[in-house]
Chains A and B, each alone.
Chain A
Amino acid sequence: MINSILSTLIFLPVILSLPVLFFRKENYKIIKFYSLTISLLVFAFAIFLFTKFQPESGEYQFVERVLWIKSTNTFFYLGVDGFSMLLVLLTALIIPVCILASWNSIKIKIKEYFFLMLLLEGALFGVFLSLDTILFYVFWEFILIPMYFMIGIWGSENRIYATLKFFLYTMFGSVLLLIGIIWVGFLASPIPGLFTSDLIEISRISSTLPLDKQVYLIIIFTLGFLIKVPLFPFHTWLPDAHVQAPTAGSVILAALLLKMGTYGLIRFSMGMFPIGFIELTPYIAVLAVIGIVYGALLSIVQTDMKKLVAYSSVSHMGFIVLGTFALTVEAMQGAIIQMINHGLSTGSLFLIVGMLYERRHTKEIVQYGGIKKVMPVFSAIFLIVSLSSIGLPGLNGFIGEFLILIGSFNSQNLGSHWYTIISTTAVILSAVYLLWLFQRVMLGPVEKEENKSLKDISKIELASILPLLLFIVWIGVQPNTFLKVSENSVKKVLTNFENAKKSYEQKQIERDQLKELEKNQQSTQPIQE
């Protein structure tokens, strides 16, 4: 099994999701317990994988490579390094949490819902584990389908508009991605004229492509990822999708789907086109900084809790992008840990909002107030989660934010301290919008009659959020457990980057010499004649 451990991880939830379709519709209890069991089994399997994983090596591990489509030279090619390992673990954690969060809130088409959830899990693993561009693209696209239905069927009133917008917008990015994959597959093939989709082969050659080609390609690739992240100004699909999605949909969207964008940014944009990446840095960094401040400002004025959290996501994801483009170990490690943190904190915030929504069927802040009095345990959890998102030391958010800040302050690639200094204002703004949210929802006297008899957090709800809280504290207090996992991979990515830059320069010299030679030949020819 150790030889095909990664494909087992991908297909385990997919294959085991099929029996869900054969359960009787009325047996929704069995469906739920079955899905939960499967997701926990997958989680256990992911932990097993983690125990076998060797963080000392920055290389891809458990590599599988089987020819898949002969005519396009495409392999079923999987591998995991420290970076994707963390995202795999996050996925395996979030899915059972989402199943618990949907326990009582999903009332129609239960069978289909849980089926799609497990299917989604397999596809997410696929995205984070693929080392073949076409394979990656297939998983990447496949995810849209369950997500489309999840918002479209189980969403709120305005779900059709939101789901369409979500679908088309991200689809637009995907088409660009596909164009990029095919183009680079021809350009960076080891055998000229033969298409290849081997990510590692491509990365080796694509990094030496001439500057203009790299820039075109990286723009095509990166745009697709940035829409997914989403970076300002490509973010407007996000609040709509979040507001309409069911709780679990929002959690998956925030915790996992957005990470696909930042994952792609590091694995593809950065790994394939180092020179293009450097060229692109000032533009993306400006957008990231705008996004950080802009998202925070917009969060302040939202009246809908979910929208508030959605815009805070825009701000937090901006930090991750900034950290990625800083190209220092600190910032890169910060960006990776922040991906996990954002999944935990924002995921929890959406769970929190979902719990309130379950009780009152409104997400409007003004409908609440004084909830702390009636739901004390819930209130404590809400506060901890908010503080984690604010970046309070001792909780996870601080570690990521701080590493990104010091790493980007030191960054040569960014070239200016101002990016970091302006981003640091988010430290103030995040406190403003989250504490204000907490105050308006939880503090004060209970004014609304409907709120007086709300029940405190239930056992299932507690079970769904406690695992996240555990990691929120764990990362905050002992980040080394997680930083160590990705450390060597990050170092490897950065050395690869440096090497690629060097081989580009080497190649560029060769190219210049060649040009010179051609020129000389051209200029000497007339004389000979």
Chain B
Amino acid sequence: MEFALKFLPLAILIIPLVSFLIIIFFGKRLPRQGDWLGTGFLFLNLFLSLYVFIAFMSLGNYSITYDWFSLGANETKFTVGFVVDQLSAVMLIVVNLISALVHLFSVKYMEGDSKYSKYFAYLGLFTFSMLGIVITNNLLLMYVFWELVGLSSYLLIGFWYEKKPPQEAAKKAFIVNRIGDFGFLIGIMIVFYFIGNFAFSEIFSGISSGKIPSGWLTAAGILLFCGAIGKSAQFPLHTWLPDAMEGPTPVSALIHAATMVAAGVYLTARIFIMLSADALTFVAFIGAITAFIAATIALTQNDIKKILAYSTVSQLGYMIMAIGVGAYSYGVFHLVTHAFFKACMFLGAGSVIYGMHHIQNISEMGGLRKKMPITFVTFLISTLAISGIPFTSGFLSKDSILASTMAFGSINGGITIIIPIIAFLVAGMTAFYMFRLVIKTFLGEPRNKEKYDHCHESPLQMTLPLMILSGLSIFFFYSFNPFGAEGGWFINVLKSPESLLVGTKGAIYHIVSREEFHEALHHAHYPAMILSLVLAGLGILISFVFYFWNKVDTEKLKKALNPLYKFSLNKWYFDELYHYTAVSFVMGLSALASLFDKYVIDGIVNGAAYLTVKLSDFGGLFDKYVVDGLVNFTGGTVWVFGMILRKFQTGRVQTYIGFLVFSIVLLYFIFRWI
């Protein structure tokens, strides 16, 4: 068992890297271009990580550290290391499971693509980097893998680089993420400045012994969280994720729904115990705002992947919000449940797109339940889960988050009341837009008869992952009580750690202790459940009224609410806003700098050269008519320059060397004299 914790995490990390290296270099020469290799390795990885989990359950936390490089000075060591704890043990399974299923799904989905082997190589690279984020025990290595997932995301979004939108989306994703990383990096610097180490354990023990002053601690927390804002597509950096849907759909499922975008949530959970009350409040508000904005946008979109993308952004906001309000366990719990049902939905969307021959607009679909029964049923289960209907995993995690926001609001009062209000509104909206998607896609009559007739259910390689993932959206995998996660094994494993800062003063709101929070949570549980059920039911009902029974003319409604409709359809005009502010600013500044460089700085240089030439002309005249031989003593620097310049126009270097010797001698005497 000990062995499992000592070596297996490293093996789990390395295996996908090996898969990447083999396929990228030899993929074309392997039979079937190496897809079996990548897929097989990932299933192996899945079993290994299950074993690690079991070992963890019986042995507890395990951490191992190696030296990477050192700088000696005050024995600053840069270490690399891995930790198996509640968080990483669970995430190892989630990442490997979804990655393995996506590999399997892709075998059929990507069949016949000209870069088939490269695709599997990139998936390996991604899995490697993502697993790195999961098991690292230090901030520096976290940043390293953080950037590497950014790279693999870049490569996979821009996979079909011949077309314009994917390349643009890939670049946007990388750059927007870098904006978040800018904050992340400064956060790391602050931590290093005070602690002198990157290992989480050192950082946390340093903080609890008060090494970071409280103002700096809040700043560090918020700056580190900036990394999460970028990677988890939180407001205001959320705009890259919907564009990232230009990548292949299984990639969207793996990277842009289930795992990579959840890395931000994971990071926030890792640093949860060092976040000050102010930082946590900031986190909660960012999450809530994101959840709300994304949900309102999802209401009106028509591209099946775009709806799912905004839904992802919104749900990520939920998780972030949960951690912000102090519900660490539920945030991570929602991360896990969401990973499964959202991956299922994306793969389901992939199956639909595959069946419909690359139609993505839901207004052209309809009635697909008959043609694609498996896809329909699995999609429906996931939709029920995301809407928070009882007996699903989503109900358990979402309900707990809603109750937590209520508890948070009741403890803190004041403006924080907005957070539970938003949380419940979003719950209603989510149910509405998800059922809108299901109804328009699978129910009713086909709207595009021709495509519908050619449509077919996807092969087993694609439907099997769907079935597994939707199966995992059932409650009993997480808790035997379908109406509460509390007391279930999952929440027991993922116990919320006590913040390092409980009771510390100096922040606006001081952090409440775990017990106090649970007390408030207990009171909020039933009201929250009832309210969330009512709102979800209402959302579903309205959705059916609008789109299934067609009792309301949606076209008329659109006209009546035109400004609001346009606002939502155009995604709150965020892209336009950024284009006309940040992008224009940088481009304008660059253009201005370019002019400055050309006319001012270089102008001065050329002007000086011109002046020197004129001076040397004058010196030449002087030389010729006035003093002749004496000139050699009078020139000074300017004169030397003029001579060199003139001589060099004739291209003779010998003269230059002559001058060199001459000036050495001259200066020698001058300084002796001084």
Q: Does B175 contact A (CB under 8 A)?
A: yes
Q: Does B412 contact A (CB under 8 A)?
A: no
Taking CB atoms and an 8 Å cut-off, the chain B residues in 134-154 that contact chain A are 140, 143-145, 147-148, 151, 154
From B72, B175, B178, B593, A487 is in contact (CB under 8 Å) with B72
Closest Cβ–Cβ distance, residue A109 to chain B (whole Å): 14
Of all chain B residues, which has the CB nearest A311?
B597
Are A439 and B597 in touch, CB under 8 angstroms?
A: no
Are B593 and A424 in touch, CB under 8 angstroms?
A: no
Residues on A with beta carbons closer than 8 Å to the beta carbon of B549:
none
Residues on B with beta carbons closer than 8 Å to the beta carbon of A417:
189
Q: Which stretch, A43-51, A161-169, A498-506, A517-525, touches the partner chain B?
A: A161-169
Taking CB atoms and an 8 Å cut-off, the chain A residues in 393-439 that contact chain B are 393-394, 398-399, 402-403, 405-406, 409-410, 417, 420-421, 424-425, 427-429, 431-432, 435-436, 439
From B144, B586, B587, A393 is in contact (CB under 8 Å) with B144
Residues on B with beta carbons closer than 8 Å to the beta carbon of A403:
71
Taking CB atoms and an 8 Å cut-off, the chain B residues in 174-197 that contact chain A are 174-175, 178-179, 181-182, 185-186, 188-190, 192-193
In the assembly, what is the distance between CA of A487 and CA of B672, in Å? Answer: 40
In the assembly, what is the distance between CA of A333 and CA of B188, in Å? Answer: 19
Q: Does A268 contact B (CB under 8 A)?
A: no
Taking CB atoms and an 8 Å cut-off, the chain B residues in 282-309 that contact chain A are none
Are B590 and A409 in touch, CB under 8 angstroms?
A: no
Closest Cβ–Cβ distance, residue A112 to chain B (whole Å): 13
Q: Does A491 contact B (CB under 8 A)?
A: yes
Of all chain A residues, which has the CB nearest B598?
A236
> What 0/1 readout, one digit per residue, does chain A (489-513) give for beta carbons within 8 Å of chain B?
0010000000000000000000000
Residues on B with beta carbons closer than 8 Å to the beta carbon of A152:
651
Of all chain A residues, which has the CB nearest B67?
A480
Of all chain B residues, which has the CB nearest A432?
B175
Residues on B with beta carbons closer than 8 Å to the beta carbon of A443:
158, 161-162, 167
Chain A residues bordering chain B, tally (CB within 8 A): 75
Closest Cβ–Cβ distance, residue B182 to chain A (whole Å): 6
Of all chain B residues, which has the CB nearest A379?
B161
Are A233 and B648 in touch, CB under 8 angstroms?
A: no
Taking CB atoms and an 8 Å cut-off, the chain A residues in 132-151 that contact chain B are 134, 141, 145, 148
Q: Does A263 contact B (CB under 8 A)?
A: no
From A168, A333, A445, B645 is in contact (CB under 8 Å) with A168
Q: Does A4 contact B (CB under 8 A)?
A: no
Are A330 and B644 in touch, CB under 8 angstroms?
A: no
Residues on B with beta carbons closer than 8 Å to the beta carbon of A479:
68-69
- Given contacts A195-B668, A427-B185, A444-B161, whether A480 and B147 have CB atoms under 8 Å apart is no
Of all chain A residues, which has the CB nearest B172?
A435
In the assembly, what is the distance between CA of A432 and CA of B178, in Å? Answer: 9
Closest Cβ–Cβ distance, residue B97 to chain A (whole Å): 26
> What 0/1 readout, one digit per residue, does chain A (445-457) give for beta carbons within 8 Å of chain B?
1000000000000
Q: Does B518 contact A (CB under 8 A)?
A: no
In the assembly, what is the distance between CA of A329 and CA of B644, in Å? Answer: 42
Q: Which stretch, B359-367, B441-449, B491-499, B659-667, touches the partner chain A?
A: B659-667
From A237, A301, A330, B76 is in contact (CB under 8 Å) with A330
Are B148 and A431 in touch, CB under 8 angstroms?
A: no
Residues on B with beta carbons closer than 8 Å to the beta carbon of A141:
660
Of all chain B residues, which has the CB nearest A405?
B189
Of all chain B residues, which has the CB nearest A314?
B597
In the assembly, what is the distance between CA of A169 and CA of B649, in Å? Answer: 15
Residues on B with beta carbons closer than 8 Å to the beta carbon of A392:
147-148, 151
Q: Which stretch, B240-248, B257-265, B382-390, B601-609, touches the partner chain A?
A: B601-609
Taking CB atoms and an 8 Å cut-off, the chain B residues in 634-653 that contact chain A are 637, 640-641, 644-645, 648-649, 651, 653
In the assembly, what is the distance between CA of A392 and CA of B653, in Å? Answer: 44
Are A483 and B174 in touch, CB under 8 angstroms?
A: no
Residues on B with beta carbons closer than 8 Å to the beta carbon of A302:
594
Are A300 and B590 in touch, CB under 8 angstroms?
A: yes
Are A480 and B69 in touch, CB under 8 angstroms?
A: yes
- Given contacts A405-B185, A424-B185, A444-B167, whether A483 and B161 have CB atoms under 8 Å apart is no
- Given contacts A236-B597, A373-B162, A424-B185, whether A491 and B73 have CB atoms under 8 Å apart is yes
Q: Does B205 contact A (CB under 8 A)?
A: no
Are A428 and B597 in touch, CB under 8 angstroms?
A: no
Q: Does B454 contact A (CB under 8 A)?
A: no
In the assembly, what is the distance between CA of A431 and CA of B181, in Å? Answer: 12
Taking CB atoms and an 8 Å cut-off, the chain A residues in 322-347 that contact chain B are 328-330, 333
In the assembly, what is the distance between CA of A329 and CA of B182, in Å? Answer: 23
The residues of B with any CB-CB pair to A shorter than 8 Å are 68-74, 76, 140, 143-145, 147-148, 151, 154, 158, 161-164, 167-168, 171, 174-175, 178-179, 181-182, 185-186, 188-190, 192-193, 586-587, 589-591, 593-594, 597, 601-602, 605, 609, 637, 640-641, 644-645, 648-649, 651, 653, 656, 660, 663-664, 667-668, 670-672, 674
Q: List 20 A-B contacts (CB under 8 A).
A: A141-B660, A165-B605, A168-B645, A171-B644, A175-B641, A182-B670, A236-B601, A298-B590, A298-B594, A301-B590, A329-B72, A393-B148, A409-B189, A417-B189, A428-B179, A431-B174, A431-B178, A435-B175, A439-B167, A443-B158
Ranked nearest first, the 6 interchain pairs of A and B with the lowest CB-CB distance are: A329-B73, A393-B144, A480-B69, A409-B189, A297-B590, A443-B161
Besides the known contacts A329-B72, A406-B189, 18 further A-B residue pairs in the complex with CB atoms under 8 A apart: A168-B645, A172-B641, A186-B674, A236-B597, A297-B586, A297-B589, A298-B593, A300-B587, A329-B71, A330-B73, A373-B162, A392-B148, A403-B71, A417-B189, A428-B175, A439-B171, A444-B161, A483-B70
The residues of A with any CB-CB pair to B shorter than 8 Å are 72, 134, 141, 145, 148, 152, 164-165, 167-169, 171-172, 175, 178-179, 182-183, 185-186, 193, 195, 233, 235-237, 294, 297-298, 300-302, 328-330, 333, 370, 372-373, 387, 392-394, 398-399, 402-403, 405-406, 409-410, 417, 420-421, 424-425, 427-429, 431-432, 435-436, 439, 442-445, 478-480, 483, 487-488, 491
